[in-house]
């Protein structure tokens, strides 16, 4: 019995002496717990292949384990084949190319596709300017950019706001001066007011971190607009069809 015990210790000795382990490598890097191959290999490593059901479900594991890396083989819901790591609360896809035009992109956006005139004094939805996304993180960046023209005979303030339709809350917004009229006076003894009309442009932008999201929940954000009259007929034009080179309105969600 003692002989077998000594043989066991003899075999275990190298593992007890060195913290590094090499597979196909007799001299593993001292900074690595495990090094596979010695640089002359022609093969690779295959990570565990599992079928995930969703980002928030730990299945087929028994719980979320921070640092776990797997290759997902299923294509269902919000997961598709590829590498995923677990952050302790959900699965996160490891993207090789964030510019790929598929459902795994990190950017969800919508751009105005019709000519619109904003002239109401209360906030109203801008047609087709809403975007839905499934939260992969608890915080996302919301960005709104736009440019257009002042409405004829108008001096007003143009207001945009991004509205979270899921939680019924306002994310944030902008306030931009819109002017399409220049007023001058002439005459020394009896000043007279005259109006010279000219087309002026406007532009606006807004960005804010939206926090406190529930991972796996689908949210819908939409753009609303209104104008506040200062002089003349209040209004602001966004004509992406008529003037596609410099008129636009785009809402983006980055996560």
pLDDT of residue 181: 64
What is the model's pLDDT at position 10?
45
Q: List the domain boundaries for the chain.
A: 45-97, 107-254
Where does residue 19 rank: exposed (0-12), middle (13-18), buried (19+ CB within 10 A)?
A: exposed
CATH for 107-254 is: 2.60.120.760
For residue 48, what pLDDT is reported?
92
Sorted by sequence, the CB contacts under 8 Å of residue 43 that are 6+ apart come out as 37
pTM above 0.95, yes or no: no
**Cα-Cα-Cα-Cα dihedral sign, residues 16, 22, 28, 32:** negative
**Strands ordered across the beta sheet of 124-134:** 124-134, 218-232, 154-164, 169-179
Output helix, strand, coil percentages for the chain, rounded to the nearest 5. Answer: 5, 45, 45
Answer positive or negative: Cα dihedral of 225, 226, 231, 235: positive
Rg (CA), the chain: 30
Residue-level pLDDT at 198: 61
DSSP string, 145-184: EEEEEEPTTEEEEEEEEEEETTTTEEEEEEEEEEE-EEEE
What pLDDT does 1 receive?
46
Q: What is the pLDDT along the chain (255 residues), one digit of tens a residue?
A: 444 444 444 444 454 445 677 777 778 888 888 788 877 877 888 889 999 999 999 999 999 999 999 999 998 888 889 999 999 989 998 875 544 444 445 899 999 999 999 988 899 999 999 999 999 888 999 999 999 988 766 778 999 999 999 999 999 999 998 876 655 555 555 555 555 556 678 999 999 999 999 888 999 999 999 998 877 777 889 999 999 999 999 999 998
What is the model's pLDDT at position 19? 60
pLDDT at 162: 98
Work out the end-to-end distance of the chain between its first and last CA atoms, rounded to an integer number of angstroms: 62
**Per the omega criterion (within 30 degrees of 0), is the bond before 156 cis?**
no
Contact status, residue 35 vs residue 20, Cβ threshold 8 Å: yes
> Of the candidates 136, 135, 141, which has an alpha carbon nearest to the alpha carbon of residue 167?
135
**Angle subtended at Cα 173 by Cα 169 and Cα 179, rounded to the nearest 5 degrees:** 145
H-helix or E-strand spanning residue 8: helix 2-17
CA distances from 40 to 25, 26, 31, 35, 37 (A): 10, 13, 20, 13, 7
- DSSP letters, 199-237, are --EEEEEEEEEE--PPTT-EEEEEEEEEEEEEEES--EE
């Amino acid at each position: 019995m003692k002989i077998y015990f000594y043989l066991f210790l003899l075999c275990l000795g190298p593992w007890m002496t060195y913290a590094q382990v090499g597979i196909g490598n007799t001299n593993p890097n001292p900074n690595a717990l495990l090094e596979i191959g010695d640089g002359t290999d022609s093969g690779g490593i295959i990570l565990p292949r599992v079928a995930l059901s969703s980002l928030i479900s730990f299945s087929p594991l028994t719980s979320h384990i921070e640092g776990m890396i797997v290759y997902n083989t299923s294509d269902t819901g919000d997961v598709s084949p590829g590498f995923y790591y677990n952050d302790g609360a959900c699965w996160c896809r490891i993207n090789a190319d964030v510019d790929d035009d598929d459902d795994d992109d990190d950017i969800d956006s919508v751009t105005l596709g019709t000519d619109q005139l904003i002239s109401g004094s209360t906030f109203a939805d801008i047609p087709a300017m809403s975007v839905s996304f499934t939260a992969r993180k608890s915080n996302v960046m919301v960005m709104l950019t736009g440019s257009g023209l002042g409405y004829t005979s108008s001096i007003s303030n143009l207001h945009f706001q991004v509205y979270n339709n899921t939680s019924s809350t306002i994310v944030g917004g902008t306030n931009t001066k819109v002017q399409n009229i220049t007023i001058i006076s002439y005459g020394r003894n009896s000043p007279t007011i005259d109006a010279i009309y000219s087309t002026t442009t406007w532009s606006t932008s807004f960005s804010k971190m939206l926090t406190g999201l529930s991972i796996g929940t689908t949210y819908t954000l939409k753009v609303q607009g209104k104008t506040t009259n200062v002089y003349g007929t209040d209004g602001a034009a966004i004509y992406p069809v008529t003037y596609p080179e410099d008129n636009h309105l785009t809402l983006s969600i980055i996560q």
